[in-house]
Structure 1
Amino acid sequence: MKQRAKNLAGITIGTLLATSVITFSMISSASDNMSDETQQTTNAAKNVILLIGDGMAESQISAAAYLNGAGYGAEDLTMDQFKNVGYARTFSHDNTVTDSAAAATAFSSTHKTDNGVVGKAPKNKEHHQNEQHFDVQTVLEAAEESNMSTGLVSTARITHATPAAFASHIDDRNKENNIAEQMLLDHDVDVLLGGGKRQFIPEEAGGKRKDGKNLLELAEDHGYQLIENKADMKKTVASKLLGLFNDSHMTYELDRNLTNEPSIDEMTNKALDVLQQDDDGFFLMVEGGRIDHAGHSNYPATNIQETLAFDKAVKEALDFAKKDKNTLVIVSSDHETGGMSIGANGEYGYNKEVIRNVKRSPEYISKQLDKNDANLEEVIKKYTGITNLTKKELELITSSQNKASAIANIISERALIGWTTTGHTAVNVPVYAYGPQAEKLTGTIDNTEIAEVINFTTSKSFTSQNLIEQVKQFSENGEMTDEKATRLLFTHLETVRQFEDQNKADKVVKQLEHFHILIDKQKERNSLSNKAYQTLKDGTDALIAKWE
């Protein structure tokens, strides 16, 4: 057990939403056909593992599954084996097309925010110019308050937008030096594994910090063991790890065997080995960050191989959960990147062998070309298996300022993989879940609801005081209109708090059941909003479950 304290200027998850989850529409089969995995559960999990395939949607997953399949068919990925499946809408506070910062903040805090902002929410319900933001508690911070161990793993820089949204509060995702400092010094994350060493060291040491600070030295003072390669990660027995395996993002999976970097599944396995030692449970976020980068660059084989590597991390998590039997696993994405399609240019098909023959990323391949491209055909043959470049393809590469992009374009054209953009898209992304509360993440949901479900486990410190603060908030913002009934709610909750202080569980439960009846009556009279009713109902249910 670890004692941690958190002080935030903003709103805590518990204060705003309670520790429960909103009930949303679900896809279900007949009860006699339901497996244990799809049965509804009321208890919180001991542990939560959230895996985010950055830039991954159905096209990326399908392309990977088809690549593994024989003939025209597909072979199930681990992701395809989940029974609780839904889809999440990803829009941000200020754009239909989100970025990773806003989407990860939705995952981490239940709040929609503006693109580029991490760990903060806007003060205005509708987007305004010069929007002001306030700090919001994340599920990782709630886990720390509940004495749970925590971990962040990414194949991108560990200070990149997605991991940053769980352990920092920054108005601009590009302030990665500030994110590194907050992540390391303002939190007590037990496991940090990824790239981004440059954000932790000063310029004179080859880093990006202009303030002269060497956060690696400070990390040692905070009990971290620094590891920088796969071998050291494997052999360490330390209980607090800072693994920085690349100055920037970690190497693409296609090129990783040229380095000493661990794979995403190896990092996931190591994180689980460390975190599972905590009897209070743990929260772990794992990001396949380079799926997104390959999508931005329209690198087809690279994108698919990153997705397959991510799926191996999903397997590590799911295998752990099945053995542990008290772990919630959630797999999703912040958004889709690239507008990827299987089948392109009006042609039906997927030439999988083209993808299978690619041995390195376009970035690596382009760097093997000599000054005048004299070895072009030799290099392309060696790393892509293409032996019959057309005159048009040769000219495309030799005339291009971005030879990696030209090579990727040829691979896409031959494989019949299409792209509509080098940016993000607004399509819904899949949500896969296993374990306690998993059935709450089926159907079409908002991405903030993922945080609500996680919060059911991580906000174990929720009490009647949080309900009191919620009633106060809803009363002040006009979502509760009956002043007399609101005073009665306050009185009732004060009684609950007294019984909590006396540790009288049966009386706490009885009073909460009465409180439930009171809010039901207010709902019938239309004297409180749907949001207020649902939030108070969920909080009451969570407290009842806690005291029972």
Structure 2
Amino acid sequence: MVQENLEPQGSANAESLLLFKEEILLKSQFKKIQVLILAFVMVLSLFAPFASAAEKGSAKNVILLIPDGLGASYMTATRIYKGEELSFERYVKGLMNTWSSNTNVTDSAAAGTAMATGYKADNGKISVTPDGMEPDSILDAARDKGKATGVVATSRVTHATPAVFVAHDSSRGNEVALAQQYINNVDVILGGGQDMFTLEAEGGKQPERNLVQEAIDAGYNYITTKSEMADTSNGKVLGLFAKAAMTYEIDRVDVEQPSLSEMTKYAIDVLSKDQDGFFLMVEGSQIDWAGHANDPVAAIHDTLEFEEAVNEALEFAKKDKETLVVIAGDHETGGLVIGSNVGGYADNIEILKNVKASNIAILETLADNVTIISLANAQEIDGTHYIHIRDAAAQLQADLDYNPSTKLVTINKDDQTVIFDLKKKEVNKKAFDMFLNDSKTKQYINVNDFFELFGYDVAIGTTKDKPELTTAYLAHINNTVSPILGFDLTEEDITTLTSVNWNGRYDLSNTLGKVVSNHAYLSWGTNNHSGVEVPVYAYGVGADQFVGLIDNTELPRIISYLMGTELFDDQDETIKRLEERRTN
């Protein structure tokens, strides 16, 4: 009996032990599954911002800031100059294509049209497509939804980038017509360009319409100074703070001309009073102009001021919690490179901290300190200009004495004496480039060589088909320029500057930019735009929708979706496609 009782008991114990082991195994496997699920959830959470769109219409306010012409290398140069990252660099999301409908190197009109309307355009056209369509912009869509709207620029407000958000024209140069489309189409207008809103009879460009008066009659507050901004905080505002463009930030000395950041803060203050929200476009216009001029100092200072404008937008968005801030250049300008053949692997951007003005301002100072010699009666032989020696001395306001028996000409200027031996064609027993005219009555002398004898740097200015405007410019370049630059130019620099056409509108400015850049070990590829992608930054509601590589036509579709304006039939599809692209 004992044995019988033992066997069933032993069998039961074995069975219990087996069940216990199975229970432990199941618990172990369950824990492993829990860990795997937890890990999977954690991985999904990392991609959560990209896996699903922000809620449609969730952005009550949108502030789009466009640093015209700014590429990644501008950010690098400015960061090195500043000594720390720019405030919005941490919000980088991706890159944006910039090509236009007729070329891979866009202009601002076509690039802006894509960013404003979502459609490609030919270079030079303001929100007009190749087939002649005039699509609405995201500013128009915001206005139609009842939101307040604004544009801010440091150029004329009718320049290409601000214009594409407000107006339409087949030519960006037709700013007179563009200006006529602003009143009542946008609530807050701030920047330069008084000339485009005033009558020709008053020094403006409008032949018949006084747009300033029309704006006042339509209920706009018209202001022209920073002080007046403080007195006007509600309603519609037309603020024009310069006759044409405003100044570079580094050259801004007029205390009544507001900075880009001051205009941005003011625009936000006015527009944010609208209970339905607002759309604001802010352009750092002259970053692009500095790039065209290959002017690193003006470019960096305008980029730093643009950063301050972004800070105003970010400060508002962080408090508001219903605002999307987007920063994207329309294209890159100048092909800026951090580095040069001269510098090798070194950089010398630090030297730019000594420079006190833009190229344009430096050249204005130079122009105030040159002596101008007319070469209307000079002769040109194989590109070299020769002037009658008496004419040269007279225009130099020097005393001339001629001894016909010895053929010696003595010229005195500011206690300096130079003696020319016309017979031997020598000066101080050195051969000199001179000749008699065909009638043997006038002695002509090499313009550059002659005036260099009196200590001048000599440059020539010519104008196509107008020989009467040919001019010699006499300067003391280093004495004039080096105090502004904070460093001395080399003889090679002086030769480079005097070798260009000083009558050319941009020749000297662009060349000065290259000379200054060489000292900073920076180089430029062009004085035009380049076709490279530009960085995109975003903060706030829906910011993650800009992650990855997007096309400039997709940018307004994303913004329209987030504002809930339904500007595009395919904007939902665009959001879905971009999400799939990011996650696959």
Same-fold call, TM > 0.5?
A: yes
Deviations 1:281-318 (A, max 9, x none): 00000000100011111111111111111111111111
* Distance in 1 between residues matched to 2:517 and 2:566, nearest whole Å: 51
Equivalence for 1:434: 539
The residue matched to 2:165 in structure 1 has which SS? Answer: helix
Structure 2 match to 1:141: 140
Q: 1:30 to 1:60 in 2, by over 3 A?
A: farther
Alignment of 1:163-202 (within 5 A): 163-185=162-184, 187=185, 189-202=186-199
- Structure 1 residue 274 corresponds to structure 2 residue 282: no
| Pair 1:245–1:179, CA change in 2 (3 A) | same
How many Å apart are 1:45 and its aligned residue? 0.5
Structure 1 pair 276/39, CA: closer, same or farther in 2 (3 Å)?
Answer: farther
Structure 1 unaligned residues grouped into runs of 5+: 1-28, 70-74, 124-132, 471-530, 539-548
Q: Which amino acid aligns with 1:177?
A: V
Give the secondary structure class of the aligned counterpart of 1:153: strand
Which shifted more, 364-373 or 162-171? 364-373
Please give the alpha-carbon distance, in whole angstroms, between the structure 1 residues aligned to 2:174 and 2:249: 27
**Superposition deviation, residue 450 in structure 1:** 0.8
1:410 aligns to 2:545 (yes or no): no
Q: Alignment partner of 1:122: what SS?
A: coil
Is the alpha carbon distance of 1:533 and 1:299 closer, same or farther for their aligned partners in structure 2, counting shifts above 3 Å?
Answer: closer
Paired residue type of 2:208:
G
CA 376–537 in structure 1, closer or farther in 2 if over 3 Å, else same: closer
State the match for 2:61 in structure 1: 47
User: What is the correspondence of 1:90-239 to structure 2 with a 5 Å cutoff?
Assistant: 90-123=98-131, 133-185=132-184, 187=185, 189-209=186-206, 211-239=207-235
Corresponding position of 2:485: 384
Give the CA deviation at 1:419: 0.5
1:396 aligns with 2:501: no
* Aligned-pair CA distance for 1:408: 1.9
1:503 is aligned to none
Are the structure 2 counterparts of residues 348 and 107 from structure 1 closer, same or farther at C-alpha, using a change threshold of 3 Å? Answer: same
Q: Taking structure 1 as reference, are residues 237 and 351 closer, same or farther at Cα in structure 2, changes over 3 Å only? A: same
Find the counterpart in structure 2 of residue 283 from structure 1. 279
Q: What amino acid is aligned across from residue 531 of structure 2 in structure 1?
A: A
Q: Does 1:79 align with 2:79?
A: no
> After the TM superposition, which of the residue ranges 113-122 and 328-337 deviates more from structure 2?
113-122
Q: Trace 1:383-532 onto structure 2 (pairs within 5 A).
A: 383-386=484-487, 388-400=488-500, 401=502, 402-460=507-565
In the TM superposition, what is the alpha-carbon distance from 1:426 to its structure 2 partner?
Answer: 0.7
Q: Secondary structure at the match of 1:173?
A: coil
Do the aligned partners of 1:38 and 1:438 also contact (CA within 8 Å) in 2? no
Distance 1:261 1:50 in 2: 23
Q: 1:395 to 1:457 in 2, by over 3 A?
A: same
Question: 2:260 & 2:548 partners in 1: Cα distance?
Answer: 29
Aligned-residue offset at 1:33:
5.8
Q: Any conservation in 2 of the 1:226–1:243 contact (CA below 8 Å)?
A: yes
CA separation of 1:144/1:258 partners in 2, compared to 1, >3 Å: closer, same or farther?
closer
Amino acid at match of 1:325: K
What secondary structure is seen at the aligned counterpart in 2 of 1:136? coil
Alignment counterpart, residue 341 of structure 2, candidates 345, 349, 354: 345
Q: Deviations over 1:466-510 (max 9, x none)?
A: 9xxx6xxxxxxxxxxxxxxxxxxxxxxxxxxxxxxxxxxxxxxxx
Name which of structure 1's ranges 242-251 and 146-155 shifts more when overlaid on structure 2: 242-251
Q: Which has the larger radius of gyration?
A: 2
Distance 1:34 1:339, change over 3 A: same
CA RMSD of aligned residues (A): 2.4
For residues 329 and 391 of structure 1, the distance between their equivalents in structure 2, rounded to whole angstroms, comes to 48
Q: 1:143 to 1:249 in 2, by over 3 A?
A: same
Paired with 1:304 and 1:38, the residues of 2 have a C-alpha distance of: 37
SS of structure 2 residue aligned to 1:246: coil
Greater strand share, structure number: 2
Distance of aligned partners of 1:393 and 1:190 in 2 relative to their CA distance in 1, 3 Å threshold: same
Q: CA deviation at 1:76?
A: 0.9
Q: Give the Cα–Cα distance (whole angstroms) in 1 for the partners of residues 80 and 52 of structure 2.
A: 30
CA contact (8 A) 2:557 2:571 kept: no
CA positional deviation for 1:379? 2.8
CA contact (8 A) 2:542 2:562 kept: no
Give 2:573's aligned residue. 534
Q: Match of 2:68, as an amino acid? A: D
User: Is contact 1:339-1:425 (8 Å) kept?
Assistant: yes
Against the structure 1 CA distance between its residues 293 and 537, is the aligned structure 2 distance closer, same or farther, given a 3 Å change threshold? closer
| CA shift in 2, pair 1:184/1:98, >3 Å | same
Alignment-mate amino acid for residue 42 of structure 1: E
Structure 2 counterpart of 1:318:
314
Give the 3 Å change call, closer, same or farther, for CA 435–295 of structure 1 in structure 2.
same
Q: Percent identity between the aligned chains? A: 41
Contact 2:150 2:271 survives alignment (8 Å):
yes
Deviation at 1:208, TM superposition (A): 1.7
Q: Distance in 2 between matches of 1:140 and 1:416?
A: 41
Show structure 1 runs of 4+ deviating over 6 A. 34-39, 535-538
Matches for 1:351-366 after TM superposition, within 5 Å = 351-366=348-363
Rounded to whole Å, the distance in 1 between the matches of 2:311 and 2:243 is 28
Deviations 1:342-388 (A, max 9, x none): 001262222122211111111111111212355532332321101x3
1:492: which partner in 2?
Answer: none
Q: Deviations over 1:168-225 (max 9, x none)?
A: 111111110111001225x1x111001111111122211122x222111111011111
Provide the residue aligned with 1:252 in structure 2: 248
Distance 1:381 1:120, change over 3 A: same
Q: Partner residue of 1:264?
A: 260
Q: CA deviation at 1:146?
A: 0.5
Distance in 2 (CA, whole Å) between partners of 1:259 and 1:191 is 22
**Is residue 38–residue 439 contact of structure 1 (8 Å, CA) maintained in 2?**
no
Distance 1:221 1:441, change over 3 A: same
2:299 counterpart of 1:303: yes
Letter in 2 for 1:334: D
Q: How far, CA to CA, are the matches of 1:448 and 1:108 in structure 2?
A: 8
Give yes or no for contact 1:145–1:461 (8 Å, CA) kept in 2: no
Larger helix fraction of residues? 1
User: Cα deviation per residue 1:500-532 (whole Å; 9 max; x = unaligned)?
Assistant: xxxxxxxxxxxxxxxxxxxxxxxxxxxxxxx79
Structure 1 residues 181 and 389, CA gap change in structure 2 (3 angstroms): same
**What's the TM-score once normalised by structure 2's chain length?**
0.69
Secondary structure of the 1:226 match is: strand
Deviation at 1:116, TM superposition (A): 1.0
TM-score between the two structures when normalised by the length of structure 1 = 0.73
In 1: Cα distance, 2:222 partner to 2:70 partner: 30
- Does the residue aligned with 1:152 lie in a helix, a strand or coil? strand
Structure 2 distance, partners of 1:447, 1:348, is 34
Relative distance call for 1:38 and 1:154 in structure 2 (3 A) is farther
